A and B are shown apart, each in its own frame.
Chain A
Amino acid sequence: MTTFTPTTAAEVREMVRWAAAEEQPLETVGQGSKRGIGRPAQSEHVLDLSRLTGVTLYEPEELVLSARAGTPLAEIEDLLRNRGQELAFEPMDYGRLFGAAPGRGTIGGALAANLSGPRRLKAGAARDHILGVAAVSGRGEAFKAGGRVVKNVTGYDLSKAMAGSWGTLAVVTDVTFKVLPAAETETTVAVRSLIDDDAIAAMALAMGSSAEVSSAAHLPEGVTGRIAGGVLGGGPATLLRVEGFGPSVAYRVNALHGLLKDAGTVETVEGTASRTIWRDVRDCAPFADGTMHPVWRVSMTPGEAARFVLALRMEAGVDAFYDWQGGLVWLRMEADPEAEAVRRLLRRFGGGHATLVRAEPQWRAATPVFEPQPPALAALSARVKEQFDPKGILNPGRMAADAPSDRLVPSRMGPSLTRETRT
């Protein structure tokens, strides 16, 4: 295996051009923090972007930040924090779920995986904050899309096409994101002892109020204790996050207490404890158990989530908790991924997308990791892929089994590459 470590966009372009010419597959990685997600890809060469780093523009008053794709996310978040700002889409950190250290990952990876967090409900995901990219297509051609201003409808939004593409369309070399002021303070309102059904109703009530709840999660009995070092004690907890300016937060927390007083016991969690709770919900900490038990991330209609989980429990051993008002269900299976049951029941309960984010490689090779698409959409997606990467050299097989990797020629080192170190 050969690893290329470019430090400039021009070098990235040269490498992709070579790979395209020689029809050699490339696996693009940043810090590798999400490398275990997706179908296990077999690529002869690794394009390591972890040295393509640096914040190239940060103008807090313009709410804009540009960086090279390999810039560590942690570095960017620190920089923003020092100016009272943040990436409002709250990118989750997969580290702990995979038994690795937290705090790794790059800004390019955040885009490629379209990361988000509990605030997704109100603030959107990476796709909603990306303003522009520079990238190298699988054709080896450098292109840019979007810009550095918030409001822009000039041409197709190819920046969004990069979000969630897992590096299979182009190698993004530079990103420009919208940044936003961080909330002055946050408080969590916790309604206790609700069963899943009632929790879904309580979250819908809260989200439909003018309390401007920014996150809504429900931890069933047995999951609660695994959040924020057990600060919530035992028993189910339905969590509502309120963020903003001090007086406003106090007012809205009070409003939620009034709204939910008949639903159950209502508690208030403030400050660091509140922030830790949401960090753990974001990072799926309850299932960061040091095992490789299969974990599903299910994006679905919020109102159907409890019934979906109930139906699944009748068929399989499963541990579950809810984020996004129920619109995001995390499932940990006791043994097999049970893909057939998960996807059949998801279709029955309003449809959506189930992604097998954690599983042993053999499961990820045997099961479609990402939700299979209907034929017309799958064909359209394949045509889009073909237009970016006609030779199928970028992360072949990572998203779909039918990527055109079979068209690639067997490994043959280019003349200028024979001196490469093999690891």
Chain B
Amino acid sequence: MSGLLMPKPDAATLSRRAEIVADMRIIVPREGVVDTVNGMRAFETDGLTAYRQLPLVVVLPETVTQVSRILKYCNERNIRVVPRGSGTSLSGGALPLEDAVLLVMSRFNRILEIDYSNRVVVAQPGVTNLGITHAVEQEGFYYAPDPSSQIACSIGGNVAENSGGVHCLKYGLTANNVLGIEMVLMDGEVVRLGGKHLDSEGYDLLGVMTGSEGLLGVVTEVTVRILKKPETARALLIGFPTSEQGGQCVADIIGAGIVPGGMEMMDRPAISAAEDFVHAGYPLDVEALLIVELDGPGVEVDHLIGRVEAIALNNGSTTCRVSTSEQERLTFWAGRKAAFPAVGRISPDYYCMDGTIPRKELPRVLAGMRELSEQYGLGVANVFHAGDGNLHPLILYDANVPGELDKAEAFGADILRLCVEVGGVLTGEHGVGVEKRDLMGEMFSEADLDQQMRVKCAFDPNHLLNPGKVFPQLRRCAELGRMHVHRGQLAFPDIPRF
């Protein structure tokens, strides 16, 4: 494990472990509390496997009352709590702490209501993303956000991370598809935000909760919008001699008023790894490969395919294939969807990054990455949600070579700095977690971060919920609350007034 500084374990909590475990067993029936090393081993890491830590104890509640009692108990005794859904976070959002109760929400796995006339599903947070779609697809409906981990990731975790997916340019992120939640605050209070209605007056705390990475509250119920499946979908596979041409093609498609259901780009290393792995028929002589998927009524899709083809040709595409069957469309996608494991085949390990940039900066960022790649002596392959500028550089390294993980992490940090430098952000959809925590200062000033932490203080004034995540340095709420203003010292003589 590289040098990640986490909050110092609280000695008092550690010394009271047996008592805490016993009290947890009073709140949650026996099998819902796991305190053996072997039992807890399954929970020691999440999707960011470079970091591992056994928790104080694992608790798997089944009811809202249990969640409320656990949090209240911990709040009163100053015990830290790390919430966890399915544990698929790629940024270490669910990384346990030695002195923290790991609150695992996987037993909240029931769909509570399917309401077609209002087009919503109400689900417990442990239901998987794909589980929602499975519950409604017989009637031709689906839940739109589709993170690549959708078979495993939970809807509660999606709320915590504001998960995206390949379709979010057209259909939005989790934040745009969640109508309501029930959550438990650190002091045990149960609060409902939103519901089956669209507008909720009062502060948009649902918006703040979405993407808050488990630092503000524990979600116990989620109401999501479901949509009718588009009648048809077809994809184009377009190759370009340069990434600039590919990028310009994306800009021109959007400039023409077309918002595709999905628009993905891969660079040469990613294309070749994917093609070697799944034999999707990708052209190997191009620098950029674009998959454009258009969905909707057949007549619309046919109409737009013609326009996209023309735009591609106009931008110097050297190859352009249009899927003529569902089978072919899926084949086009197969390589892209297998890009991560494909890269896994050509390198012992890879480290997946997640910056977002203004699209027009793509050539500059790719060039910068090539330079960094040489400088660090590590390869990099790129897959790119081209429509919304979300880059996933995969840094190739070998964890068995001493120092390579550190080098990969430093390379990754440099890529993210570059993203911020060109007007982008540190993370598009994977979250800050522990991974990008120490880079927050690249994007935010101290005043920006202080205001975010003050919001945390409104929800969890003792910093007990998921500490060590998102913020590089926790400051006490009392300290954040101080106001440094001095009466009579502020002058502003030159301001126009009337």
Interface residues of A (CB under 8 A from B): 2-7, 11, 14-15, 17-18, 20-22, 51, 59-64, 84, 114, 116, 120-121, 124-125, 127-128, 137, 139-145, 147-158, 160-161, 163-165, 169, 180-182, 184, 201, 204, 207-210, 212, 244-245, 247-248, 250-252, 255, 299-303, 324, 327-328, 350-353, 355, 370-371, 373-374, 376-377, 379-381, 383-388, 390-391, 399, 414-416, 420-421
Contacts and interface: CB of A to CB of B under 8 A. Distances in A.
A181 to B, nearest CB: 4
B29 interface: no
Contacts of A148: 358, 423
B478 interface: no
Given A139-B483, A208-B228, A59 B497 contact: no
B496 interface: yes
A416 B497 CA distance: 13
B185 A380 contact: yes
B421 interface: no
B72 to A, nearest CB: 13
A299 B200 contact: yes
B203 A161 contact: yes
Given A149-B358, A154-B426, A210-B231, A399 B202 contact: yes
Given A3-B498, A210-B140, A380-B458, A161 B207 contact: yes
Contacts of B207: 127, 157, 160-161, 163
> Which applies to chain B's interface (DSSP): helix, strand, loop or mixed?
loop
Contacts of B451: 137, 141, 143, 145, 158, 388
A210 B229 contact: yes
A233 to B, nearest CB: 29
Nearest to B200: A353
Contacts of A208: 116-117, 119, 141, 228
Contacts of B493: 416
B218 interface: no
A142 B303 CA distance: 48
Interface in B172-206: 172-173, 175-176, 185, 189-193, 195-205
Given A11-B495, A127-B204, A387 B388 contact: no
Contacts of B454: 387-388
Interface in B47-83: none
B296 A212 contact: yes
Contacts of B258: 181
Residue of A137, A143, A299 with most chain B CB atoms under a 10 A cut-off: A143
B376 to A, nearest CB: 24
B413 interface: no
A323 B202 CA distance: 21
Contacts of A248: 296-297, 299-300, 303
B119 to A, nearest CB: 6
Q: Do most interface residues of chain A lie in helix, strand or loop, or is the interface mixed?
A: mixed
Nearest to A134: B448
A333 to B, nearest CB: 19
Contacts of B389: 62, 149-151
Contacts of B172: 124, 128
A164 B202 contact: yes
Contacts of A139: 483, 485
Nearest to B436: A154
Contact of B175 (A160, A182, A299, A420): A160
Contacts of A383: 457-459
A380 B389 CA distance: 35
Given A7-B496, A120-B198, A381-B203, A210 B118 contact: no
Contacts of B229: 210
Nearest to A139: B483
Interface string B472-498: 000000000101011111111101111
B190 A5 contact: no
Nearest to A156: B452
B234 interface: no
Contacts of A163: 204, 207
B164 interface: yes
A183 B299 CA distance: 16
B199 A5 contact: no
